[in-house]
Amino acid sequence: MAKRLRVGLLTGGGDAPGLNAVIRSVTKSLILRHDAEVIGFEDGFLGLITQRIRQLSYEDVSGILTRGGTILGTNNKANPFKFYKRGGADVSAQVIAYARSLGLDGLIAVGGDGTMSISNRLHEMGLPIVGVPKTIDNDLMATERTFGFDTAVSIVTEALDRLHTTAQSHQRVMIVETMGRYAGWIALHAGVAGGADLILIPEFEVDLDEVVRVVKNRESFGRSFTIIVIAEGTRLQGGALSVERTLDDSPDPIRLGGIGRVLQVELESRIKSEVRTTILGHVQRGGTPTPYDRILATSFGSYAADLVSRGEYGRMVALQSGRMTSVPLAEVADRVRLVPVESSTVQAALAVGTSFGVPELTVRFDPSQAAEA
């Protein structure tokens, strides 16, 4: 009798809505279509290093599609090549030996750029791995979407809708700081969906004079409130990144945050209107995934299961031109996908008069002229 396929599964890095939908999809499709056994590792690579596993049955993953977080747990510090609990030691060889001792045919690693980089190195050392792209930041190479992003954009958009009404009532400038690390995808998409007046993202260095000009220009046309979305990785011209904390035991030690308040202080000294800042933080990663993320996570999960069943390792599942495909992990590892200026979303925002805080990119508009025309 042929040996049953035995597949490991872990969720690594920061959590994102849709992780449970992937766990469900991978497990159900491996059991139903490939009669496989699924072994879950607890807390991402930490479970692989510290040998904590849990068998996943069909029943274990029933009813979790809509649930936020991950039933397996996750960890964004555990790197087998630099393990923080053992003084930064390289424990990758032990990890591979452990995976082999479990009789695993392959491992599915769900995560962001850190997880894909680790997976690529482990694959190069002989561990058969398939990656599934997760992150609210949407900054992974070779896939036009990661799951979690759509939910984060919905949450920020709802916040913008709510802040609009209070900004209008009090005639205030409202700054909303989003996550996204070094990429501005969340701020860009939510800013467009929520009709922000200014969208400030890391890809474009912000000219403060331009921000002030936009706010004052709106005031001069009787629009005495302004909504500004700013991504956490944005820099004001001549300024530095806003680092909220540094975690020495993390492979990616910098945690960004606080640029909204920096902007607030700068604006308060230059304009008359009151300025308030809302930092949305981890609320962007919590709660139930949107229908889009549930569908994407389910599609990614079953596609990953198919790759494993065909023995196609060293690849990450990806969405390209709206279709499921896969790309070599090496194409994704150690790279970040940033917003290009020619992005159709950037161009659409510019077309409706949104400013990116960059004078050369701003379409100047005088509503009184338009009314007369």
Q: Which residues are catalytic?
A: 137
Which of 136, 200, 211, 319 lies at the binding interface for ligand F6P (CB under 6 A)?
136
Q: Which two tokens mark 17?
A: 């809505």
For ligand F6P, the closer CB: 27 or 154: 154
Question: By C-beta, is 4 or 282 nearer to ligand F6P?
Answer: 282
- 35: nearest Cα among 314, 297, 326, 305: 305
Phi, psi dihedrals of residue 353, rounded to the nearest 5°: 90, 10
Task: Give whichever of 119 and 135 is closer to ligand F6P, judged by the CB atom.
Answer: 135
Cβ-contact 176, 227 below 8 angstroms: yes
Looking at residues 173 to 202 of the shown chain, list those that interact with ligand F6P (rule: CB under 6 A). Answer: 179-181
256 and 184 Cβ atoms separated by less than 8 Å: no
Q: Which residues contact 230 (CB under 8 A, 6 or more apart)?
A: 175, 176, 177, 178, 187, 200, 201, 259, 260, 263
145 sits near ligand F6P (criterion: CB under 6 A) = no
Candidate residues 137, 150, 210, 293; the one interacting with ligand F6P per rule CB under 6 A: 137
State the minimum distance, in angstroms, from the CB of residue 41 to ligand F6P. 20
14 lies in the binding site for ligand F6P (CB under 6 A): yes
Task: Tell the burial category of 208 from Cβ atoms under 10 Å away from its Cβ (0-12, 13-18, 19+).
Answer: middle
Span 44-103, contacts to ligand F6P by CB under 6 A? 76
Question: Does 298 contact ligand F6P by CB under 6 A?
Answer: no
Rank residues 90 and 244 by Cβ distance to ligand F6P and give the closer one.
244
Residue 74 or 298 with smaller CB distance to ligand F6P:
74
Q: Is 11 in the site for ligand F6P (CB under 6 A)?
A: no
Q: Is 135 in the site for ligand F6P (CB under 6 A)?
A: yes
Contacts of 367 (CB under 8 A, 6+ apart): 221
Q: Is 3 exposed, middle or buried (0-12, 13-18, 19+ CB in 10 A)?
A: exposed
Q: Is the CB of residue 54 less than 8 Å from the CB of residue 42?
A: yes
- Supply the DSSP symbol for 251: S
Pairing state between β 243-246 and 254-256: antiparallel
Residue 277 in contact with ligand F6P, rule: CB under 6 A: no
Residue 285 within binding range of ligand F6P, rule CB under 6 A: yes
Chain residues 95-114 in contact with ligand F6P, contact rule CB under 6 A? 112
Which of these, 119, 153, 118, 147, lies nearest to 135 by C-alpha position?
A: 147
Q: What is the closest distance, in whole angstroms, from the C-beta atom of residue 245 to ligand F6P in the complex?
A: 8
- Indicate the residue among 28 and 77 with the shorter CB distance to ligand F6P: 77
* Listed ranges 101-109, 135-143, 210-218, 294-302: which one lies at the site for ligand F6P (CB under 6 A): 135-143
Beta carbons within 8 Å of 314's beta carbon, 6+ residues apart: 120, 123, 128, 129, 328, 329, 330
Least separation, in Å, of the C-beta of 258 and ligand F6P? 12
Stretch near ligand F6P under the rule CB under 6 A, chosen from 30-38, 88-96, 130-138, 212-220: 130-138
Restricting to residues 202-261, name those near ligand F6P by CB under 6 A: 232, 255-256
Binding site for ligand F6P (CB under 6 A): 14, 76, 112, 135-137, 179-181, 232, 255-256, 285
